[in-house]
Structure 1
Amino acid sequence: MPIDAREILDNLTRAVVAIDDERRIVRMNAAAESLLHVSSRQALGEPLMQFLPALQVLDEAIEQAFSQAASYTEREMRLTLGPDRTITVDCAITPLETVNVLLLEFEQLDRHLRISRENRLIAQNQAIRELIRGLAHEIKNPLGGLRGAAQLLESELSDEDQREYTRIIISEADRLRTLVNGLLGPDSRIEHAPTNLHEVLEHVRSLAVVEAPAGVEIRRDYDPSIPVTRAASDQLIQALLNLVRNALQALGETGTITLQTRTQRRFTIGDRQHRLVARIDVVDDGPGITPAMQDQIFYPMVTGRAEGSGIGLPIAQNLVNQHGGLIECTSEPGHTVFTVWLPLEDA
């Protein structure tokens, strides 16, 4: 069987960029695209330092590697790839004399720290799952009463416009009942079906717009290339709605929430690597979450608000985890991001 060097390169987990003697990019594997947040189609043929200014710190080493045909290694090098993204990498520069090409290899150290943090979040989520099931039992009774009251009210109303409100109550009660039944199932799962993530987000956005104060704007920034995937849409709606409501409560009367989607290839969640994942960001420009609170927000009954219940984020984490995904949070004053990672293997 012939060996396809390109396929081998693309299946490496280490990021590799190849440049020629004119310092132009001639090859970039999938891991490098993911690490550097660039497309190989756009990069090919471009001058390395102009296309990736963050790599200017390697300029002298690259010149020495070409002139002396010598390898070079730099450990724990920090690369600033944008205003909000700095990574730490080990870098190896290796000349290929026969073809006059230089290989730049990058191993992201942040990745190992992130995997450790994700494993901790997954273990934490498993520990609180039983508590959530107990809460689900308590929700079922008042939910049934709510639905019944809405049905009785609907039968007394003659105005069709007013009946529309009761239908919304009944529809949302049915969705929540399905959600609760999923939480109470033998393995806390409900049936997955083909799901458009942007339809899910639009449903969440329509509910949030009704709840949002006049001074809060909810923006969209969608990646149309995200494919339809198999998921439990009710579970995703509830998880994302919890995140958006959390942002609304953080903002108060004014501010901006952005719903953003992107895809990422060869991404690891916990200790499992996925070929393709969806990244859904719920971004707000509120006051932020204190560093001490960020490590605890996914625990039940932990909240920074006196009126908060402290169960919204743990429930959201549980629901996303049932899809093989994970929710992470980064926050500083003026910029808080809750990121939902969802595998797209079935897409």
Structure 2
Amino acid sequence: MDSNNLLNNLVTAVLVIDKQLKPCFANAAAEQLLGLGNHRLLESTLPELYQELAIAPSLLQDAIASNQGLTVNTASLMTLDGQLHTVDLTLIPLENDPQFGLLELRQVDQQRRIHQQLNLDAQQQAAQFLVRNLAHEIKNPLGGLRGAAQLLSRELKEPELKEFTSMIIEQADRLSNLVNRLLGPQRPSQHSLHNIHQVVQKVLQLLEMTQPANVTIVRDYDPSIPDMSMDPEQLQQAVINLVQNAIQSLEQCGGEILIKTRTQHQVTMGNRRHKLALALSVIDNGPGVPSEIIDTLFYPMVTGREQGSGLGLSIAHNIARLHGGRIDCTSSPGHTEFTLTLPFQ
């Protein structure tokens, strides 16, 4: 049995390092955690692979030199791309070769994120159930109101009176459209193989005409990402909502939006673990999401903007759920990142 293949299927990041802290092996989870390819990992020393780690490199060197194990719990790790993680770090000397040590970095923030996702899904489904029931209660009398206005319009002869019935019909249609947006897609549709980059490019073409001059969009695609099973129209709507949200946050101050695609290995979503997943990130350098709404950001009718409807992110989250995925958000002033994660079936 191939030991390298076994290590590459672990969720825990594993590196084998020597006394100079130069890796000679890194599994797929280490590549994902550090955000670097295997070639880059093996040609650098460990301190060159991250910005900050809450443990001095000399402690790791001393542990390998003295053939002693080392464990540090809940250590903060900031990777080169600015991502902050909390990890449990364990260094184990190799019995057969004391010149090397096996370094494990286990993300403990992943368990917290999984718990938050399950909690968010449960709360959002409860909120959507309430909204759906309310929406149906609104649509029934709304349809009757519109029909009555149409019948009354046929009986009226004076054009100035028909203006009032036209106003009733117009406002009834507006409310009906709002209710339909509240309901959103509720069931998985027919999926087929499509390329995610074609979906993103279609979104950018649609938004190009309304994109403010002070907002720049930068693309960072991984061309090796294969086609995946999806409803392209639903995903297009989800991506539109995410990119529009970023554009609106930058309208006043201007800035840059980065759209990045990557693959992730051994990703747990809900109660299922997936060997391979797509991560589509929409990152802006705007003012950030208000802290008071960050935990309820994906609920219907929750928004931080005066003119916002609070439906875009809720619909995007629901579309991700119908595709077996999720949307995560991390935000601080100058860096807001929404990541759409979808499993390859």
TM bucket (normalised to shorter chain) is 0.7 to 0.9
Matched with 2:150 is none
Number of residue pairs matched by the alignment: 303
Contact 1:132 1:315 (C-alpha < 8 Å) held by counterparts:
no
> Shift of the alpha carbon at 1:57?
3.1
Contact 2:72 2:89 (C-alpha < 8 Å) held by counterparts:
yes
1:340 aligns with 2:330: no
Normalized against structure 2, the TM-score is what? Answer: 0.79
More displaced 10-residue stretch of structure 1: 38-47 or 72-81: 38-47
Distance in 2 (CA, whole Å) between partners of 1:306 and 1:264 is 36
AA partner of residue 17 (structure 1):
L
More displaced 10-residue stretch of structure 1: 120-129 or 92-101: 120-129
Inter-CA distance 290–191: structure 2 relative to 1 (3 Å threshold): same
Matched with 2:270 is 270
One of 66, 69, 91 as aligned partner of 1:68: 66
Distance in 2 (CA, whole Å) between partners of 1:103 and 1:275 is 23
> Shift of the alpha carbon at 1:65?
2.4
Inter-CA distance 110–56: structure 2 relative to 1 (3 Å threshold): closer
AA partner of residue 111 (structure 1):
Q
> Shift of the alpha carbon at 1:45?
5.4
AA partner of residue 261 (structure 1):
T
One of 61, 79, 85 as aligned partner of 2:77: 79
Contact 2:267 2:274 (C-alpha < 8 Å) held by counterparts:
yes
> Shift of the alpha carbon at 1:84?
2.2
**What is the 5 A alignment of 1:236-315?**
236-253=235-252, 254-315=254-315
Equivalent residue of 2:73, what SS?
A: strand
AA partner of residue 331 (structure 1):
S
AA partner of residue 231 (structure 2):
A
> Shift of the alpha carbon at 1:51?
4.7
Contact 1:328 1:339 (C-alpha < 8 Å) held by counterparts:
yes
Matched with 2:92 is 94
What are the ranges of 5 or more consecutive residues in structure 2 without an aligned counterpart? 144-176
Cα deviation code 1:233-285 (max 9, x no counterpart): 00001111111222222222533322221111112223322111111112223
Distance in 1 (CA, whole Å) between partners of 2:316 and 2:200 is 14
More displaced 10-residue stretch of structure 1: 207-216 or 334-343: 207-216
Contact 1:183 1:189 (C-alpha < 8 Å) held by counterparts:
no
Distance in 1 (CA, whole Å) between partners of 2:213 and 2:281 is 22
AA partner of residue 302 (structure 1):
V
Distance in 2 (CA, whole Å) between partners of 1:24 and 1:286 is 38
AA partner of residue 16 (structure 1):
V
1:210 aligns with 2:213: no
Matched with 2:166 is none
Inter-CA distance 53–317: structure 2 relative to 1 (3 Å threshold): closer
What are the ranges of 5 or more consecutive residues in structure 1 without an aligned counterpart? 143-175
> Shift of the alpha carbon at 1:53?
6.4
Matched with 1:221 is 220
> Shift of the alpha carbon at 1:225?
1.4
> Shift of the alpha carbon at 1:22?
5.0
Distance in 1 (CA, whole Å) between partners of 2:32 and 2:296 is 29
> Shift of the alpha carbon at 1:305?
2.2
Equivalent residue of 2:286, what SS?
A: coil
Equivalent residue of 1:70, what SS?
A: coil
One of 19, 25, 37 as aligned partner of 1:39: 37
Cα deviation code 1:291-333 (max 9, x no counterpart): 1111122111112223222111111110111001111112222
Equivalent residue of 2:296, what SS?
A: coil
Percent same amino acid among aligned pairs? 39
**What is the 5 A alignment of 1:94-133?**
94-100=92-98, 101-130=100-129
**CA RMSD across the alignment:** 2.8
Equivalent residue of 2:55, what SS?
A: helix
Contact 1:72 1:93 (C-alpha < 8 Å) held by counterparts:
yes
Contact 2:50 2:77 (C-alpha < 8 Å) held by counterparts:
no
Q: Which runs of 4+ in 1 moved over 6 A?
A: none
Equivalent residue of 2:74, what SS?
A: strand
More displaced 10-residue stretch of structure 1: 200-209 or 72-81: 72-81
Distance in 2 (CA, whole Å) between partners of 1:19 and 1:111 is 24
Contact 2:184 2:315 (C-alpha < 8 Å) held by counterparts:
no
Inter-CA distance 95–227: structure 2 relative to 1 (3 Å threshold): same
